[in-house]
Amino acid sequence: MSRRISFTKLENELIRSFRDKINTAATAEDIASAFTRTMDKLVAGAMGESTPDAREGITFEPKAKDFYRLDDGLASNASFTDIMDASDLPQIISRFAGTANRRRRRILEHRERTEAKIRN
């Protein structure tokens, strides 16, 4: 049985600032932007020296099954797919995307509260 790589430590380093960003987000676009920037940092941390051009490689996609989409360039990168297959990275990305989706739904359902916060 092959050994799996864990990026939980990296997830824990990023989760607090991610939650702070989405909790202060005023729009669904702010949430998508915070998600994409955080995923850029996650991929850079996971890949280390062999980081592909992953800028905006993982984007928030509320209609997708796991609420995110991999850019074609990143999805076709052999070293990235190897890490995705041998680690907990897909589950971590799904957790971040699920958190972003819940916050997005909340903003859309309670738009008047969000707008009141912005005015104050």
Strand extents, DSSP E, 1-120 = 58-60, 68-70
* Calpha distance 36→39 (Å, rounded): 5
Among residues 57, 64, 56, the alpha carbon closest in space to that of 104 is found at: 64
Looking at residue 3, its pLDDT comes to 78
Location of structure tokens 């990296």? 10
Looking at residue 110, its pLDDT comes to 84
The single-letter code of the amino acid at 58 is I
Question: What is the per-residue pLDDT across 83-100, written as a single tens digit (0 to 9) for each?
Answer: 999 999 999 999 999 999
Looking at residue 115, its pLDDT comes to 61
Which residues of the chain have a pLDDT value below 70?
A: 1-2, 49-54, 113-120
Structure tokens at 57: 């490689």
The single-letter code of the amino acid at 60 is F
